[in-house]
Structure 1
Amino acid sequence: MNERSATTLIPETARGSEAAILNAALEAFGEKGFYGASMRDVARGAKTSLSNLYNYFPAKSDLLAALLRMANDELLNRIQEAVGAAGKRPADRMSAAVRAHVRFVVEHQVASLVALSEIRYLTGAVRKRVVAARDSTQGIYEELVAEGAAAGDFLTPYPDDAARNIVSMVSAISTWYRAGGRLNAEELGGQHARYALALLEAPLD
């Protein structure tokens, strides 16, 4: 693929800013995992002091929770916009959702991988908020599947499982994608849209 996966999630305005800290945390979590990365690693990556870092984020879990919420918000917005522009046909709307999701994973591979693998380190109310945000994204797929099933376009007898498996399939791209591979982001999105429609037993036309 020609695209490069970004290790920055949000634009940075200054050294030591909140954005710089979050991007440094993303890089550290992507490289070492949440458990292996330290607040000192994050401060070093953001080119700031530990005291300034703690002013923004008192705990490492606060950094992870903020990153996961921001990543999910961006993903949710992209999917909603794509679906809204796709027209009324259930197959077109599902295809648009999957394509937008795949492009997000390709463009923000590190954030997608961290979201997939490191959420287990969040607990309590913080975890519940992050899981609720993530569930809202899956909820779009569930609604799309329900629409297609009601219209008779999706024939799968397992709509809930199908929606969950589509999300899992696309999210898993973050674990194996490599820039410079055989397919570009658009082609990869088209491939996975076909996989999703096949899973839903929808007509491929």
Structure 2
Amino acid sequence: MDSLLPPQLVADGAKGRLLAAAVELFAARGYHGVSVRDLTAHLGVQPSSLYAKYASKAELFSELVFLANEQIRDRMRAGLLEAGPDPAAQLAALTHANVEFHTTYPLFATIAHNDFGMLTESALHHVAASRKEAIDLMRAVIDRGNDRGVFDCPDPWTAIAAIAGFGIRLAVWYRPQGRLDDPSAGFAAEVQNWMGRQRSIEDLKATYATYTLRLVGWCGHTD
């Protein structure tokens, strides 16, 4: 069974249980579909337990959205640094990082892209900055590829929107093996039935990297 959160974000004790419950419930129902009582009842504790750690439901939700978007940006940045100078390898690495996060932590990733209007002002500022930095990484690579003649992408922004959308949609329908019993997995189970088999994360990373490179007009090969 996959973890709900990346290892570096897993907390011990009551806070850890609260974060895990929040990821599951917010991903399944959205911000407005989850009350403080829902969260604490899920844990079998009183509402005061949440307020001992967060000033409000909005503060808890904002922290999760911020952390998820920070993870996406940081993983893309790390992948790019390891990819070498070739724009095709760089864009594939960015896609690998995006796909890996959204398929490994689909519930956490779902929270990253929804209900921005519910964020605290500070969180909204930081989330917007993280998302812009991730987009800027892709734009810079596509521009380098165009400048070097290895990409033929006349509309980089539309390409970036499509590439970013790969991850967002993967979080909706993909679940790692053994996670089709979570509250939001109904559609994921349907998709698995259509495909007839469980696709591995590595398989999806390679497939979506191929799609990405086709989108930007590259005709070579990459791992």
TM-score (norm 1): 0.87
State which drifts further: 122-131 or 29-38.
Answer: 122-131
1:12 paired to 2:11: yes
Counting matched residue pairs gives: 200
Name structure 1 gaps, 5 residues minimum. none
Q: 1:77 to 1:129 in 2, by over 3 A?
A: closer
- C-alpha RMSD over aligned residues: 2.0
* Partner of residue 190, structure 2: none
Once the two structures are TM-superposed, the CA of residue 124 in structure 1 deviates from its matched residue by: 4.7
| Alignment partner, residue 180 of structure 2 | none
1:195 alignment counterpart: 211
Structure-2 residue corresponding to 1:67: 64
Q: Which amino acid aligns with 1:171?
A: I
User: What SS class does the counterpart of residue 143 from structure 2 fall into?
Assistant: helix
Identity %: 25
Q: What is the CA deviation profile of residues 3-54 of structure 1, one whole-angstrom value per residue up to 9, with x for unaligned ones? A: x55433532311x22x332222111112222111111222234454322311
AA in 1 matched with 2:10? P
Displacement after TM superposition at 1:164 (Å): 2.2
User: Structure 2 residue aligned with 1:154, among 151, 156, 181?
Assistant: 151
Moved more, 149-158 or 191-200: 149-158
Runs of 5+ unmatched residues, structure 2: 178-196
TM-superposed deviation, 1:160: 2.1
CA contact (8 A) 2:79 2:94 kept: yes
Cross-structure match for 1:104: 101
Matches within 5 A, 1:83-102: 83-102=80-99
Q: Tell me, in whole angstroms, the C-alpha distance in 2 between the residues paired with 1:12 and 1:124.
A: 25
Question: What are the within-5 Å matches in structure 2 for residues 16-27 of structure 1?
Answer: 16-17=14-15, 19-27=16-24
Residue matched to 2:220: 204
In the superposition, the TM-score normalised over structure 2's length comes to 0.81
